Amino acid sequence: MHLEDLRHVRQPLQGGGQVVVLDTGALITAEAAAMLQALHSRSVHGIDAHLMKLAQKGAAQFMDTYYIGYGDKSIGDCGTATVFIEGVSMLAAKAIQDSQLYNGQESSTRYVDFSTQPFISPDESASELSESLRTFHTEGLATMKEELMDRHPRGEEDEKKWKKAINARAFDIMRSFLPAGMATNLAWHTTLRHAADHLLRLRNHPLDEVRAIALTIEEALNTMYPNSFKQKRYEATEQYVSEWMKESYYFDLNTQNTSEPISFFSGVRVERDGIDRNLLARYAPILSNRPIKAELPRFLAECGSIRFLFFLDFGSFRDLQRHRAVTQRMPLLTNSWEFAPWYLDQMPQELRKKALSVLQKQRAALNKLSIAPVYRQYYIPMGYSVPCRLTGDLPGLTWLVELRSGISVHPTLRRVAQEIGVLLLETFGLTLYIDRSEDRFDIKRGEHDIVEK
């Protein structure tokens, strides 16, 4: 079989994107693999006997009977699918990735030419808002590259890596003016079970775009795996999920039931410390003797969790959300909070003045439009801060702060990781390998790429 003979399933999305379910060309498909593992768990005859049964009868009737008919969800964990979702907004990408079981990749915005990249606009009357942000982003990107070359002249570094590092730093600054409705691509590698479970939430999402994408993914998966996505839909379940998604999916401090209004604040707050000190004390040697690069054992999660609250620009939240070992709420992107100062501070004076003018005009224009808050997100620059609520246990938090405190991490996210790390150090005295150095231009940013050779 040749690559051109593979039968990938393609379903178009409104607006020009598409969903592609990958056909790997495997003779033993995802459904067949699930069937074999299930049979293997139910007898001691060995895999060869099950392979013979597969050859004789196929996987269709088995999956339809046991996975769908009997509702044995664990069978769906034994087969996987790879789905490519193209031409969707960054908001939609975050919704698809909003699961601790998500595996996959999203296009790195640092390597996308946004001068030609389309954007998703649920209200055509507001499209010009996105265009104006794109224009400033493109012009500012060129200005920042020149500024950074003067600010960080090349020494003995490799010229190619130096230029890549300059370009990366310039984009790290100017990405703040990209609207969240800009189009991106992502891949989703998932078990058949998780796909079905997550699609239940996605098809009841507050955004029309996400609901449409979910139905398209379902159609594509059902075409590729016709015996694994026949789950009966229950009206009461769909209604229940739809209601809590509508009322509570987006985390918005303005709508929280608090005794006093919450205003913008800097730094990281501990909202709740639920760590059992007595239990944790039993594991003192494990906490203090951990060498660099080693992970804490997962069973330490039994000691409890901590909930943090902080503000972070939406652009960096996109990176933070990739951490699956902690629980995070999906923030509602608004222009109610501060535009992260770091981005403006990196700009030369004239560009900064233009940036502030663009933000003022964009805010005034958006306020004139009658658009629901969830749809206003599409037109808001990703440099605006959003409230982030993050809950994690010590193993998950340790991994997060050590990885995200590194010098190659975006400075606004790095600051949050450093502050959480300091709080953990001061509170629990455990060994943490966090980089507490000041932000600086790092040539290694020019090495973070995947290129053809």
What digits encode the pLDDT tens for the residues 123-180? 888 889 999 999 999 999 999 999 999 999 988 888 888 898 899 999 999 999 999 9
- Determine whether 186 is exposed, middle or buried from the number of CB atoms within 10 Å of its CB (0-12, 13-18, 19+): buried
Tell me the mean pLDDT in the region 270-280. Answer: 96
**18-21 and 104-106 beta bridge pairing:** unpaired
Task: Tell me, yes or no, if the pTM score tops 0.85.
Answer: yes
Q: Determine the 3-state secondary structure of 335 from DSSP.
A: coil
Q: Give the per-residue pLDDT at 93.
A: 97
Question: What is the C-alpha end-to-end distance of the chain, expressed in Å?
Answer: 26
pLDDT tens-digit profile of 261-274? 678 888 999 999 99
Q: Are strands 327-328 and 385-392 parallel, antiparallel or unpaired?
A: antiparallel
User: How sure is the predictor about 450, in pLDDT bands with cuts at 50, 70 and 90?
Assistant: very low
Average pLDDT of the chain, as a whole number? 89
Weakest mean pLDDT among 54-68, 86-100, 417-431? 54-68
Cβ 75 vs Cβ 302: under 8 Å? no
Question: What is the average per-residue pLDDT within 420-425?
Answer: 95
Which domains occur in the chain, in start order? 3-106+182-248 (3.30.1360.170)
Average pLDDT over residues 223-244: 90
pLDDT, mean of residues 372-386: 96
Which of the residue ranges 114-123, 399-408, 432-441 has the most confident prediction, judged by mean pLDDT?
399-408
Amino acid at 422: V
3-state secondary structure of 185: strand
pLDDT of residue 310: 97
Q: How far is CA 362 from the centre of its chain?
A: 26
Q: Which of 380, 354, 2 is nearest to 176 (CA)?
A: 380
pLDDT of residue 78: 81
pLDDT score at 98? 97
Average pLDDT of the residues in 384-392: 97
- The conformational region for residue 95 under phi > 0 = left, psi -120 to 50 = alpha, else beta, is alpha
C-beta separation of 392 from 325 below 8 A: yes
SS3 310: strand
Query: Tokens 């992260």 appear where?
Result: 340
Mean pLDDT, residues 276-290 taken together: 95
Of 41 and 185, the one with more pLDDT: 185
Q: What is the model's pLDDT at position 256? A: 63
Q: What tens digit of pLDDT does each residue of 85-130 get? A: 999 999 999 999 999 999 999 987 777 778 888 899 998 888 899 9
The DSSP output letter for 387 is E
pLDDT of residue 219: 94
Give the integer Cα–Cα distance in Å for 307 and 299. Answer: 19
Q: Would you state the pLDDT for residue 452? A: 43
Q: How confident is the model at residue 421 (pLDDT cuts 50, 70, 90)?
A: very high
Helix ranges, 29-126 (H): 30-40, 47-57, 60-62, 73-76, 90-97
453: confidence class by pLDDT, cuts 50, 70, 90: very low
Question: Tell me, what's the pLDDT at 262?
Answer: 74
- 12-26 tens-digit pLDDT: 998 788 998 888 777
Contact residues for 129 (Cβ-Cβ < 8 A; gap 6+): 179, 362, 365, 366, 379
**What's the pLDDT tens digit per position in 199-208?**
999 999 999 9
CA 162/CA 99 separation, integer angstroms: 37
Q: Which residues contact 359 (CB under 8 A, 6 or more apart)?
A: 339, 381
Which one, of 248, 246, 257, 264, lies nearest residue 372 by Cα?
Answer: 246
**Rg of the chain (C-alpha set):** 24
Range from 190-204, 206-220, 305-319, 433-447 carrying the lowest mean pLDDT: 433-447
The arithmetic mean of pLDDT across residues 390-414, rounded, is 95
Question: How far apart are alpha carbons 145 and 130 in whole angstroms?
Answer: 23
Flag whether pLDDT at 257 surpasses 60: no
Q: Whole-angstrom Cα distance, residue 181 to residue 208? A: 13
Please give the distance of CA 120 from its chain centroid, rounded to a whole number.
18
- Above 70 in pLDDT, residue 210? yes
The pLDDT value recorded for residue 274 is 97
Share of the chain above pLDDT 90, in %: 65
Token pair listed for 401? 């702060």
Cα gap 263→314, rounded to integer Å = 18
Three-state DSSP at 63 gives helix
